Amino acid sequence: MLRVGVMVSGGGTNLQAILDAIDVGAITNAQVCVVIANNPGAYALERARKHGIEAVCVSPRDYESRDAFNQAFLEKVDSYELDLIVLAGFLVKIPEAMIGKYARRIINIHPSLIPSFCGVGYYGLKVHEAALERGVKVTGATVHFVDEGMDTGPIILQKAVEVREGDTPEVLQRRVMEQAEWIILPKAIDLIANGKVK
In three-state secondary structure terms, 30 is strand
Toward ligand GAR, which CB reaches closer, 45 or 197? 45
Instruction: State the amino acid at position 64 in one-letter form.
Output: E
Toward ligand GAR, which CB reaches closer, 76 or 159? 159
Contact positions with ligand GAR (CB under 6 A) in 34-63? 44
Q: Which stretch binds ligand GAR (CB under 6 A): 11-19, 23-31, 51-59, 131-139?
A: 11-19
Closest CB 197 distance from ligand GAR, rounded Å: 19
CA dist 9 and 7 (Å) reads 7
Contact positions with ligand GAR (CB under 6 A) in 102-121? 109-111
The per-residue DSSP string of 39-58 comes to STT-HHHHHHHHTT-EEEE-
Pairing of strands 54-57, 30-37: parallel
Pick from 18, 92, 180, 181 the residue near ligand GAR by CB under 6 A: 181
Pick from 5, 10, 140, 153 the residue near ligand GAR by CB under 6 A: 10
Closest CB 110 distance from ligand GAR, rounded Å: 5
The per-residue DSSP string of 111-138 comes to SS-TTSS-STT--THHHHHHHHHHT-SE
For residue 110, indicate whether it is catalytic.
yes
CB closest to ligand GAR, residue no = 89
For residue 140, how far is the Cα from the chain centroid? 15
CA dist 41 and 57 (Å) reads 9
Length of the chain: 198
Q: Which stretch binds ligand GAR (CB under 6 A): 8-16, 74-82, 98-106, 160-168?
A: 8-16
Within the chain, what is the greatest distance between any pair of CA atoms? 48
Count of chain residues binding ligand GAR (CB under 6 A): 17
Positions annotated as catalytic residues are: 110
Give residues in contact with ligand GAR (CB under 6 A): 8, 10-14, 44, 88-89, 109-111, 123-124, 127, 177, 181
